[in-house]
Structure 1
Amino acid sequence: MSPKTAQELALPVGVTLDRFIMLSQSAFPYATGELSQLLRDIALAGKIINREINRAGLVDIAGGNGTDNVQGENQQKLDIIANIRFIRALKNGGEVCAILSEEDEDIIHTGNDHGKYVVAMDPLDGSSNIDVNVSIGTIFSIYRRVSPIDGPATREDFLQGGRKQVAAGYILYGSSTMLVYSTGDGVNGFTYDHSLGEFILSHKNICSPQNGTIYSVNDGYINDYPAFVQQYLTKCKEKSCTARYIGSLVADFHRNLLRGGVYLYPSTKKTPEGKLRLLYECYPLAFIAEKSGGKAIDGFGAILDIIPTSFHQRSPIYLGSSTMVDDVMKC
Structure 2
Amino acid sequence: MQSDENIIGNDKIPADLYPLINGLCTVGADLAKTIARGPLGQTLGGAVGENSDGDQQKALDVMADEAFAEALKSLGVRWYASEEQEEVVELDPNGRYALAIDPLDGSSNIDVNVSIGTIFSIFEANEGANESFLRPANEQIAAGYIIFGPQTGLMVTFGNGTLFYVLSPDSGKFELANDHVVVPKESTEYAINASNYRHWSKPVRAYIDDCIAGAEGIHGKNFNMRWVASLVAETHRILTRGGIFLYPTDSREGYGAGRLRMVYECAPMAFLVEQADGHATNEHDRILDQTAKELHARTPFVFGTPVKVDRLASYHDLPEKEVSALFGQRGLFRD
The TM-score bracket by the shorter chain reads 0.7 to 0.9
Call closer, same or farther: CA 1:39–1:66 in 2, change over 3 Å. closer
Of 155, 172, 180 in structure 2, the residue corresponding to residue 180 of structure 1 is: 155
For residue 52 of structure 1, report the CA deviation from its aligned partner: 1.2
What do residues 64-99 of structure 1 show as CA deviations (whole Å, max 9, x unaligned)?
233111110111000011111111111132x10111
* Structure 1 Cα separation of the partners of residues 198 and 239 of structure 2: 27
* Structure 1 Cα separation of the partners of residues 87 and 62 of structure 2: 16
Of 89, 92, 103 in structure 1, the residue corresponding to residue 71 of structure 2 is: 89
Alignment partner, residue 199 of structure 2: 224
Secondary structure, in 3 states, of the residue corresponding to 2:307? helix
What pairs with 1:131-146 in structure 2 (closer than 5 Å)? Answer: 131-146=111-126
Alignment partner, residue 268 of structure 2: 284
Q: Give the 4+ runs in structure 1 shifted more than 3 A.
A: 22-25
Residue type at the aligned position of 2:61 = D
What pairs with 1:176-325 in structure 2 (closer than 5 Å)? Answer: 176-239=151-214, 240-270=222-252, 271-325=255-309
Alignment partner, residue 18 of structure 1: 8
Secondary structure, in 3 states, of the residue corresponding to 1:282? helix
Residue type at the aligned position of 2:198 = N
* 2:8/2:25 contact within 8 Å kept: no
What do residues 127-184 of structure 1 show as CA deviations (whole Å, max 9, x unaligned)?
110111111011000001132xxxxx52211112210000001111011011000000
Structure 1 residue runs of 5 or longer lacking an equivalent are: 1-15, 26-32, 148-152
Of 23, 43, 60 in structure 2, the residue corresponding to residue 78 of structure 1 is: 60
Alignment partner, residue 26 of structure 2: 44
* Structure 1 Cα separation of the partners of residues 47 and 292 of structure 2: 31
* Structure 2 Cα separation of the partners of residues 137 and 214 of structure 1: 22
| TM-score, normalising length: structure 1 | 0.88
* Structure 2 Cα separation of the partners of residues 297 and 254 of structure 1: 17
For residue 241 of structure 1, report the CA deviation from its aligned partner: 0.8
Aligned residues: 301
Alignment partner, residue 126 of structure 1: 106
* 1:48/1:85 contact within 8 Å kept: no
What pairs with 1:141-160 in structure 2 (closer than 5 Å)? Answer: 141-147=121-127, 153-160=128-135
Alignment partner, residue 28 of structure 1: none
Percent of residue pairs identical: 35
Residue type at the aligned position of 2:185 = Q
For residue 17 of structure 1, report the CA deviation from its aligned partner: 6.6
For residue 238 of structure 1, report the CA deviation from its aligned partner: 1.7
Secondary structure, in 3 states, of the residue corresponding to 1:235? helix
For residue 227 of structure 1, report the CA deviation from its aligned partner: 0.7
* Structure 1 Cα separation of the partners of residues 180 and 21 of structure 2: 17
For residue 24 of structure 1, report the CA deviation from its aligned partner: 4.5
What do residues 258-304 of structure 1 show as CA deviations (whole Å, max 9, x unaligned)?
11110000111121011000001000000011100000011231011
For residue 125 of structure 1, report the CA deviation from its aligned partner: 0.5
Call closer, same or farther: CA 1:258–1:23 in 2, change over 3 Å. closer
Structure 2 residue runs of 5 or longer lacking an equivalent are: 1-5, 215-221, 316-335
Secondary structure, in 3 states, of the residue corresponding to 1:250? helix
CA RMSD of aligned residues (A): 1.4
